[in-house]
Amino acid sequence: MWFLFALLTTLAWGTADLFYKRGADSKDKYSTIKIGIMVGLVMGLHGILYMLIKGIKFDPFDMIKYLPVSFFYILSMLIGYFGLRYLELSISSPVQNSSGALTAIVLIILFPKELGVLNTVGIVLITAGVIGLAVLEKRLQTEAIKTDKAKVNPKYQIGVLAITFPILYAVLDAIGTAADGIYLDKLSLISEDAALLAYEFTWLLYAVIALIYLNVVKKKKFNILKEPIRTSAAVFETAGQFFYVYAMSTNAVVTAPMIASYSIVSVILSRIFLREKLSKLHYVLIIMVMVGIAVLGAVEEL
């Protein structure tokens, strides 16, 4: 079942990226905080409902136990939201999701495992495709800037600093994902349900603190009931997180690079809804990643 959970995570997070981009306003310096608030509130609501429906007894100490994982995930996501104010989604998402390759390498080094030929091929195809997309998009952006006829939206151009945001995201997310693999799969330090609730309630804690900061300290009125785009992003993010925990608890080494391919979904949706075009090389790289996913799925069925 890990493959199905990983696939659902990929689709959900790829869709969430599109809404994140639409919710990231370069003219609003508090847009990152606002996105984080909506994510935290939706995750918290889901955590409460999940706990009540399944009759789970939550131990608040699990939030502390799982904090090293939650911290790196939440920090990386907030940095990612901030970076989307200045960088194209089709560039940011593939770069960010090269973290899957870093995670797989770290887990293989820490916990040597015989992956098999097909698993290795799948991981290589997905990783190569994601990194290839990042390199291609960066090259196209550089060429566009150098072309006199090209008019590049200034909100995407803040020099070298712009590309550092998704790179920072990738590093921090890789640390969090590697820690997650250790917690859930390798050492089984916490159950899937406990990890899910600990993460979602940590996000809820952030949302409450950020909401108080925005409304009380900064005197910025923020009506959570009038945020359809950011709420949609939060819903897809939460759905992906739900499936992600179960995928990582079964096969972390292979799951990490596969889920990293959700940038493909992001790229495709950004082309459709943000009116961007795909080149032939884009299609080649996307097909490469899709083949990698298919290979991992075939291995699961063997």
Helices 228-259 + 99-110 axis angle, to 10: 40
| Structural contact between residues 32 and 253, judged by C-beta atoms closer than 8 angstroms | no
264 or 296, which is more confident? 264
pLDDT exceeds 60 at position 17: yes
pLDDT exceeds 70 at position 285: yes
Spell out the domain ranges in the chain: 2-301
Question: Using CA atoms, how far apart are residues 89 and 151, in angstroms rounded to an integer?
Answer: 17
Tokens read off for 270: 């950004």
In 3-state terms, what secondary structure has residue 158?
A: strand
Looking at residue 203, its pLDDT comes to 97
**Average pLDDT, stretch 287-292?**
82
Looking at residue 16, its pLDDT comes to 94
What confidence tens digit (pLDDT) does each residue in 170-223 have? 889 888 888 888 888 777 789 989 999 999 999 999 999 999 999 999 999 999
Tokens read off for 93: 């998402």
Looking at residue 207, its pLDDT comes to 97
| Structural contact between residues 245 and 192, judged by C-beta atoms closer than 8 angstroms | yes
Q: Report how far apart, in Å, the C-alpha atoms of 190 and of each of 89, 184, 198 are.
A: 34, 6, 10
Looking at residue 144, its pLDDT comes to 67
**Average pLDDT, stretch 66-80?**
95
74 or 294, which is more confident? 74
Looking at residue 156, its pLDDT comes to 44
142 or 281, which is more confident? 281
Most confident of 122-131, 202-211, 239-248, 259-268: 202-211
Looking at residue 155, its pLDDT comes to 44
Looking at residue 180, its pLDDT comes to 85
Looking at residue 161, its pLDDT comes to 63
pLDDT exceeds 60 at position 152: no
Looking at residue 53, its pLDDT comes to 93
pLDDT exceeds 70 at position 86: yes
What does the mean pLDDT of the chain come to? Answer: 83
Q: pLDDT category, 249, cuts 50, 70, 90? A: confident
Question: Using CA atoms, how far apart are residues 206 and 36, in angstroms rounded to an integer?
Answer: 8
Question: Residue 234: what residue type?
Answer: A
pTM: 0.80
294 or 65, which is more confident? 65
pLDDT exceeds 60 at position 106: yes
